[in-house]
Amino acid sequence: MKKILLATLLAIVALPAFSADMVCHLSVQPGGNVFGNGTSSCFGIDFSFGNSTTGSWSIVNITKSIDRVVWTDGCSSGLSCIVNVPAYSIQRGKAYIHYDDGSIEFVEATMHYETGH
């Protein structure tokens, strides 16, 4: 029993640690404020009275070779993209990273934008 437990613990420790992150970057008009750029949760506010602003999703901190990235929300392909962020709605970026070693990692982030209308 001890040998099985030890082998299980060693197998868990030997598993590769996932470390990729999805981060957001939100742009607002001058005089506005953004909180969380470069993290997985961005919030921005300005008083432009517009209906939307721009933002971007990026997958960062990748330490293994990637086979492909499958986006389910946010971008259509690649490791990053620029998106339109409508006011007063939460935008989500979600992706599965398929690594060359056969492992898969899920990453996600959110953006929220408010304006003066």
**pLDDT over 80 (residue 15):** no
pLDDT for 10 beyond 50: no
Beta-bridged to residue 94, according to DSSP, are: 73, 108
User: Which residue range is the domain that position 68 belongs to?
Assistant: 17-114
Note whether residue 40 is domain-resident: yes
Q: Which of 74, 83, 78, 86 is nearest to 62 (CA)?
A: 78
pLDDT value for 11: 43
> What residue has token string 């330490």?
63
pTM, two decimals, is: 0.81
β-pair partners for 25: 56
Residue 88 maps to a domain? yes
CATH number at residue 91: 2.60.40
Please tell me the predicted confidence (pLDDT) of residue 3.
Answer: 53
- Specify the number of domains making up the chain: 1
Average pLDDT, the chain: 88
3-state DSSP percent of the chain in helix, strand and coil, to 5:
10, 50, 40
